[in-house]
Amino acid sequence: MEIVSEPDIRMPEEAGAYLRKLRSILRYLGTCDGNMEEGSMRADVNVSVRKAGEEFRTRCEIKNLNSVRYVMQAIEVEAQRQDGLLKRK
């Protein structure tokens, strides 16, 4: 099963909360045990940083993350990398 969200998650903490809630719902429905560390549930994230009022730039996709903590860390590190690139321009 693949679940795709709208691109409106702004912070790593928001992504973590979204995944925890989604995992809770999937467990409740019995569709997935939600054990990310065992590979039952994985997450891909797309990160795109922009200046306020500008269009989104090229996004970076990070695939097969296996914990909520790693998702949050990956978003933070990639956002910092992209922010550094924007500041150089």
32-42 confidence digits (pLDDT tens): 998 988 989 99
Q: Is residue 7 part of a domain?
A: no
Give the range of the structural domain holding residue 79, as residue numbers without chain letter: 12-88
Q: Is residue 53 part of a domain?
A: yes
Q: Is residue 80 part of a domain?
A: yes
Q: Is pLDDT above 90 for 62?
A: yes
Count of structural domains, the chain: 1
Q: Is residue 30 part of a domain?
A: yes
Q: Is pLDDT above 90 for 56?
A: no
Res 53: pLDDT: 86
What's the whole-number mean pLDDT along residues 5-13?
90
Res 89: pLDDT: 67
Q: How far apart, in whole angstroms, are the C-alpha atoms of residue 63 and residue 44?
A: 4
Q: Is residue 18 part of a domain?
A: yes
Q: How far apart, in whole angstroms, are the C-alpha atoms of residue 27 and residue 54?
A: 39
Q: Is residue 2 part of a domain?
A: no
Average pLDDT for the chain: 92
- Give backbone dihedrals phi and psi of 38, rounded to 5 degrees, phi first: -95, 0
pTM listed for this prediction: 0.88
Q: Is pLDDT above 90 for 58?
A: no
